[in-house]
Chains A and B, each alone.
Chain A
Amino acid sequence: MKSIVLKSPQETLNLGEKIGFILKPNDILLLTGELGAGKTTFVQGIAKGLNVKDFVTSPSYSLINEYEGTYHLFHIDLYRLETLSQIEELGITEYFLKDGVTIIEWAEKMENLLPKNGIRIKIEYAGENKRKIWLPLEFQALIK
């Protein structure tokens, strides 16, 4: 994991877009970060990179939002879920087998159910409008 500092929501959006552009079906992104860290902004960027035309709204209440772009995009948010059994009941693990890109916010809530091939990304508060983002090896070429 390597981190860089993003200096504005626009930079978060831009990085998301670059990542979205290189994602492939069956990629699973696991996002962690506190409230207001910019997870949704980051996903909006990814959706742009995946050529999704709809507004990407927060799935906190709907739990799962689906979009059409270059590939299917499944945007999942575990924010409201309290127990592992609630997560299992929603059938979230089935999305890992669907032919699309899956992004899970608050992924740490289902630690034991996470797929081994999940790509972990962490966003942290680093000052007013500044965020630190931790990316795995495969994306580091994007942040030179």
Chain B
Amino acid sequence: MLSNVIASQIEFHKKYGGIVPEVASRKHAEVINLVIQEALDKSKTTFKNIDAVAVTQGPGLIGSLLVGVCAAKSISYAMKIPLIAVNHLEGHMFANFLSSPLSFPSPSLMERGVPSQSRDGVRFPFISLIVSGGHTMIVKADKEYEILGQTRDDAAGEAFDKVARFLNLGFPGGPVIDQLAKQGNPHAIEFKRPMLEKEFGYDFSFSGIKTAVVNYVMRNTKNVTRDELRMTNYEDIVASFQQAVVDVLVEKTIRAAKAHKIKNICLAGGVSANSLLRKQFTEHGKKEKLNVFIPSIEYTTDNAAMIACAAYQKFLKKDFSDSLLRPSQRLKL
């Protein structure tokens, strides 16, 4: 990995100024060339040395996806190099391979019986828990991807964000809650663990738990003000909320691994930066004698390195796209 430039990173801000909200496609168009040039400069290389260009095809916001796809097509056309389309969610799963470069997976080599993995790297097949602001799903990755379960309402990251906003804790909600929860008692309030019953399979629901937090706060501010409640037990509220969410995420992933007799589990997506989730995913997984993989913190947020990593296996298989490639807002795995 030579460079991994993210426009919303502080380092990039300092140099070029301005923030780039994911929702602002015009901003994407303004900065994309700066990002590409910065990536080349950091790698001490030029377009001439690039073998292929990869881009996120979806899922995501169409305006932002379009900017990336257009840029990638232009590079592919101008430099006469292959264009590779990557699913954003597949990219998140491949962030796990970036943490262990020696174990780089290559399904095409595996098919030919060439062992391409070291002993400590992620191996196919695996069960992946993908958790972010927009997604919460359990995926079985073998010869192909199979979604075993997903959220029926809010994504886990969205619940973190909304609870933080409701409690006026600041932004971004995930890291704020993660930090504050460390000072609280995770068992102070027993929020109901949603959809753990077998009948729901591997599906999730996090809208109800957000409402449970709202109800709890409303109930306890009848005789005291919000500020007084804040002084006494906001830490306990967020710690208990976080514990409930993490319990469900980890429990269902392990259940899926056992039911499908798969020994490898890996964490993916923005919420995989959450310290309790990382800890519990690892500890519970190991207790069940599973091989546990979690991405390095730097690759948990959306980034280009993970897209390149997922693209590499497609490159080996010569799985290329052409100039007709179109971004897709709701691209399926």
B61 touching A63, Cβ below 8 Å: yes
Question: Is B34 in the interface zone, CB < 8 Å from A?
Answer: no
Using Cβ atoms and an 8 Å threshold, which residues of chain B touch A56? 153
Q: Note all chain A residues with C-beta closer than 8 A to B330.
A: 62, 66
Contact with B along A101-120 (1 / 0, CB 8 A): 00000000000000000000
Q: Which residues on the A side are within 8 Å of B153 (C-beta)?
A: 40, 44, 55-58
Number of residue pairs spanning A and B whose beta carbons lie under 8 angstroms apart: 74
Kindly list chain B residues whose C-beta atoms are within 8 Å of the C-beta of A66.
330
Considering only residues 83-108 of chain A, those with a C-beta below 8 Å from chain B are 86, 89-90
Chain B residues with Cβ below 8 Å from A55 are: 152-153
| A38 CB contacts on chain B under 8 angstroms | 211
**Bound-complex Cα distance A86 to B210 (A):** 26
Binary interface profile of B, 85-108, with partner A (CB < 8 Å = 1, else 0)?
A: 000000000000000000000000
- The answer on a CB contact under 8 Å between A81 and B166 is no
Closest to A82 in B: B21
Interface size on B, residues (CB 8 A): 32
B333 at the interface (CB under 8 A from A): no
Complex interface: chain B residues within 8 A of A142 (CB): none
- Does B23 reach chain A (CB closer than 8 Å)? yes
B23, B132, B218: the one within 8 Å of A63 (CB): B23
Per the CB 8 Å criterion, the residue count for chain A at the interface is: 28
Bound-state CA distance A9–B208 (Å) is 10
Whether B154 lies near A86 (C-beta < 8 A) is no
Q: Contact at A89–B213, with CB atoms within 8 Å?
A: no
- Asked whether B24 lies within 8 Å of A89 as measured between CB atoms, the reply is yes
Contacts A36-B213, A58-B207, A90-B63 given; does A125 touch B21 at CB 8 Å: no
Q: A36-B166, A36-B211, A62-B329 are in contact. Are A86 and B158 (CB under 8 A)?
A: no
Binding site for B on A (CB under 8 A): 9, 34-36, 38, 40-41, 44, 55-58, 60-64, 66, 80-82, 86, 89-90, 125, 127-129
Given A57-B151, A61-B132, 14 more A-B residue pairs with CB atoms under 8 Å apart are A9-B211, A34-B166, A35-B210, A35-B214, A36-B215, A58-B207, A62-B329, A62-B330, A80-B23, A81-B23, A82-B21, A89-B63, A90-B63, A128-B219
